[in-house]
Homo-oligomer: A and B are copies of this chain.
Amino acid sequence: MNENSGEHTRPICILGLGLIGGSLMRDLAAAGWPVYGWNRSEKTVKAAQRDNFDVSGDLKATLQRAEEDDALVVLGVPMPAMPSMLEALKEHAPTVGFTDVTSVKAEVHALVEEHGLTDRFVGGHPMAGTADSGWKVTMEGLFQGAVWVVTYDNAVVLRDQDEHEGSAVRKRRWLDTWVRVVRMAQKVGADVVTTVSRRHDGAVARISHLPHVMAETLAVAGDAGGPLALTLAASSFRDGTRVAGTAPELVRAMCENNREALLKALDETLETLREARECLADESRDLKELAEEGFAARGRFEARAGRRKGDKTNRPIIRVRPGAAGWVEQLESAESMGAQISIF
């Protein structure tokens, strides 16, 4: 109903009010955006209502409302709940655009495709959060300065189908959803980085899922040294094993949902470690190569992300005009340099 009065007045409908969905609701409401939502658990619904949020436990009614007022739907649910949410979305909100917040993207895109919802979907991955979960840990400001990945898989598909009939309408509608997702992420203070789902999953396998596997492995190796080893352990062990403190079921979910990309990263890692082992075992060789490559790699990371947590990042920012000629190529170019984007 507010379709022509500017994207910021059209509502956001959040399904699933855990740490991400709930914190997003807090930030959007604080920014004055119309936002409402649904959660399966009655307890969360009551808690959110007590905090004066517009929240319901009736999924069907919430989706019908979203369809009626052309809300952007945010799926704040974890992966296992995704198929049933897509079914409900298809049935009760048959035209609205939607996004998600899960940490893998190829599997979600495949599910969306299976449900025939590709033209309504823009993938999202806000890279914020803690090991804690539930409405009680939601907070304002969670996304401030965090990266929010937004996918553009469908932009590539639509570009390559330019000649097809009806594609202009499809493109315009999808583009509208895409822009709304980007603006929403920026509204809550996130830096938007755009990519396609396969490359997203390959990257997070390396910089998020592999670090968890490495931390677990290191924790086990240290612990195998018994009390003496744990007593001597200092900051290199502390930092190297920190994320082994993540709940095991969360680690499993993130790793197993990104199986293929993580296997590739893990195989490379095994090869690097085997080579280091051979260099160490052979007294005519040394660890020079690994030590220098690792040092250079860390240096490139620090040049981009700052030396300490909370340092100002140093990423290029590319301005993009959504839908303009060549805009997909612009996104591809921004992605290749690890840039964040802003939109006209």
Contact = CB atoms under 8 A, between A and B. Distances in A.
Interface of A: 127, 146-147, 149, 193, 195, 199-200, 202-204, 206-208, 210-249, 251-252, 255-256, 259, 262-263, 265-270, 272-274, 276-277, 280-281, 283, 286-288, 290-302, 304-305, 309, 315, 335-340
A336 B230 CA distance: 11
B127 A234 contact: yes
Given A240-B215, A273-B273, A274-B270, A206 B225 contact: yes
Nearest to A261: B225
A207 B233 contact: yes
Q: In the complex, which of the residues A193, A227, A231, A251 has the most CB atoms of chain B within 10 Å of its own CB atom?
A: A231
A36 to B, nearest CB: 30
25 contacts: A149-B232, A206-B225, A211-B240, A214-B240, A216-B295, A216-B297, A217-B273, A217-B276, A217-B290, A219-B293, A219-B294, A220-B294, A223-B296, A224-B268, A227-B304, A228-B336, A231-B340, A239-B240, A244-B297, A245-B302, A248-B292, A248-B294, A248-B295, A266-B273, A266-B280
B287 A252 contact: yes
Contacts of A246: 295
Copies of this chain, complex-wide, total: 2
A147 B234 contact: yes
Interface of A is mostly: helix
Given A230-B304, A245-B298, A298-B241, A202 B220 contact: no
A314 to B, nearest CB: 10
| 6 cross-chain pairs, A with B, having the tightest CB-CB distances, nearest first | A216-B294, A227-B338, A231-B338, A223-B297, A248-B291, A219-B297
B193 A231 contact: yes
Nearest to A241: B298
Q: In the complex, which of the residues A206, A277, A336 has the most CB atoms of chain B within 10 Å of its own CB atom?
A: A206
A319 to B, nearest CB: 17
Nearest to A125: B232
Contacts of A216: 276, 290-291, 293-295, 297
Given A203-B229, A215-B240, A216-B293, 6 more contacts: A203-B225, A206-B222, A217-B269, A223-B300, A230-B301, A241-B301
Given A212-B236, A269-B273, A207 B229 contact: yes
Nearest to A249: B291
A268 B207 contact: no
B232 A204 contact: yes
Nearest to A219: B297
Contact of A232 (B127, B248, B296, B297): B127
A280 B256 contact: yes
Contacts of A199: 228
Contact of A338 (B213, B221, B226, B287): B226
A261 to B, nearest CB: 10
A255 B221 contact: no
B202 A225 contact: yes
A214 to B, nearest CB: 5
A221 B265 contact: yes
